[in-house]
Amino acid sequence: MKFGGTSVADPDAIIRLVGIVGHQLRATPSAPPVVVVSALAGVTDTLVATAQLAEDGAAERAASELRALVERHVAVATAVTSESRTRLLADLRRELEELSGLIHALAVLREVSPRSRDAVLAVGELASSRIVAAAIADRGIPSDWIDARTVLVTDAEHTIAAPDMIETCERARGRVAPVLAAGKVAVLGGFIGATASGITSTLGRGGSDYSAAIFGACLDAAEIQIWTDVDGLLTADPRIVPQPRVVPRISFAEASELAYFGAKVLHPSTILPAVGKNIPVRILNSRRPENPGTRITADGRPEQGQLTAIACKRDVTVIDITSTRMLMAHGFLRRLFEVFERFKTAVDVVTTSEVSVSVTIDDTRRLEAILDNLRNFAEASCEPEMAIICAVGENLRADPTVFGRAVTSLDRIPLRLVSQAASRRNVTFVLRDADVPQAMTRLHEQFFGRQ
């Protein structure tokens, strides 16, 4: 059970968390949960800012940021504990005093190496996990706090460390499994680990999901729960489609397609360790724990005849490249894409006919140079204010009528490009940006009904 920053933001959130964990333990007493927590909301950002102040030599301002941080943690810790309070506060003070010594030293040096930065950032999760563990214990739930740095072993790529799965799994079996076997909940900080020689490391921003997937994979969890502040992945962006639905089930590959379009609930690569072991990942709302959330699995198993979700990316530019020299010639596409490579511009959608190629880009900073270079060997023109709509669903492969219904629902909306790639789990439409609200609404109605 991973709880993100907003699910441990303040005393109320932590009390809710304790309720959710207690409920889970009563449901599966023989398989107690492992609880993985993020830093309290905003704390990692504050620590990043504090490290920056140290690097700038602003020792006084860094120290005052830290004082505010200590106050916040002490206030939250005091509010959520009783018997454990004295010990918890002593632990927190010690942890935060060490941090202030470190920040002072960095401010003198005016240098923050990646390794030092990890030592600073790790304090957020060390503190939050201690608070949560004490809060859980004080509500009579048998539990142990475990320093995640003694379990999660990483390489020495500080700030973006990668886990050593073999060593980590061995330690998880040695340190975490016995706690669970004794019927207790194990509580660890996410995002943090240590190198083989014991130097504190972090997995990169947002890394707590990754920690949860790693521990879950190592311990053969029945399920990995990502507790956050939304009900799950949505069938469409609520800013465009009124009242989208929560996607009940989605495959890992579908979730990856959607992530590109800014469905920011989680980064799919962070749950790979779980998907690789066929462990379902569930996204749940800690404010509405009774809701079923979204379940991500390797195969997804969508409802028959249904799309899984739709998404869009607005304000893209279409570039059309036409040349009769392309006809039956080889090497044309290489020349074409070399231009985009030279100007470091990513291409999203690509469609081709015999004598023309159309691509979309969203970064138009080098557009003029790109067009100039393309014109050395072809006609090139561009059209701004376009958008990409992406319909995602494993059913697109299995059931040809799904594609037909998608296109039919867009009747009379001019489609500029249509593309379906080899995976055939998505179909992409490029159309005028102005048509997006209508197109998304119609597609959504076709597959998910009116609300």
Distance of alpha carbon 73 from alpha carbon 76, whole angstroms: 5
Radius of gyration of the chain (CA): 25
Minimal CB distance residue for ligand ASP = 208
163 binds, among Mg ion, ligand ASP, none (CB under 5 to 8 A by kind): none
Would you say 38 or 426 has its CB closer to ligand ASP?
A: 38
270 is a site residue for Mg ion (CB under 5 A): no
Shortest distance, position 157 Cβ to ligand ASP, whole Å:
16
Would you say 33 or 189 has its CB closer to ligand ASP?
A: 189
Shortest distance, position 124 Cβ to ligand ASP, whole Å:
5
Sole binder of Mg ion in the list 1, 5, 123, 158 (CB under 5 A): 5
Per CB under 6 A, the segment of 70-78, 203-211, 304-312, 332-340 that binds ligand ASP is 203-211
**With contacts defined by CB under 5 A, how many residues of the chain interact with Mg ion?**
2
- Reference 417, options 405, 431, 432; nearest CA is 431
- Round to the nearest angstrom and report the end-to-end CA distance of the chain: 32
Q: List all residues 6 or more positions away from 56 whose beta carbon is below 8 Å from its beta carbon.
A: 110
3-state secondary structure of 311: strand
208 is a site residue for ligand ASP (CB under 6 A): yes
Sole binder of Mg ion in the list 38, 129, 200, 373 (CB under 5 A): 38
x/- letters, 98..127, toward ligand ASP (CB under 6 A): --------------------------x---
Q: Are strands 200-202 and 294-297 parallel, antiparallel or unpaired?
A: unpaired
Per CB under 6 A, the segment of 37-45, 59-67, 92-100, 142-150 that binds ligand ASP is 37-45
Shortest distance, position 2 Cβ to ligand ASP, whole Å:
8
Distance of alpha carbon 218 from alpha carbon 173, whole angstroms: 7
Shortest distance, position 115 Cβ to Mg ion, whole Å:
21
Would you say 9 or 359 has its CB closer to Mg ion?
A: 9
Would you say 263 or 312 has its CB closer to ligand ASP?
A: 263
Print burial letters for 281-300: b (CB count within 10 Å at least 16), e (below 16). bbbbbbbebeeebbbbbeeb
Distance of alpha carbon 336 from alpha carbon 332, whole angstroms: 6
Write down the H helix ranges in 269-424: 272-276, 332-342, 367-374, 395-398, 400-409
Distance of alpha carbon 36 from alpha carbon 41, whole angstroms: 14
Residue 339's identity, in one-letter code, is V
Sole binder of ligand ASP in the list 25, 34, 39, 66 (CB under 6 A): 39
189 binds, among ligand ASP, Mg ion, none (CB under 5 to 8 A by kind): none
Sole binder of ligand ASP in the list 61, 205, 314, 405 (CB under 6 A): 205
Per CB under 5 A, the segment of 4-12, 62-70, 250-258, 394-402 that binds Mg ion is 4-12
Q: List all residues 6 or more positions away from 163 whose beta carbon is below 8 Å from its beta carbon.
A: 152, 153, 154, 193, 203, 210, 214, 273
- Reference 83, options 132, 126, 137; nearest CA is 137
Would you say 38 or 225 has its CB closer to ligand ASP?
A: 38
| Two structure tokens written together for 42 | 């905003």
- In residues, how long is the chain? 451
Print burial letters for 189-203: b (CB count within 10 Å at least 16), e (below 16). bbbbbbbeeebbbbb
Per CB under 6 A, the segment of 99-107, 199-207, 324-332, 339-347 that binds ligand ASP is 199-207
207 binds, among ligand ASP, Mg ion, none (CB under 5 to 8 A by kind): ligand ASP
191 binds, among Mg ion, ligand ASP, none (CB under 5 to 8 A by kind): ligand ASP
Shortest distance, position 210 Cβ to Mg ion, whole Å:
12
Q: What residues make contact with Mg ion under the rule CB under 5 A? A: 5, 38
Residues that bind ligand ASP (CB under 6 A): 4-5, 38-39, 44, 124, 190-191, 205-208
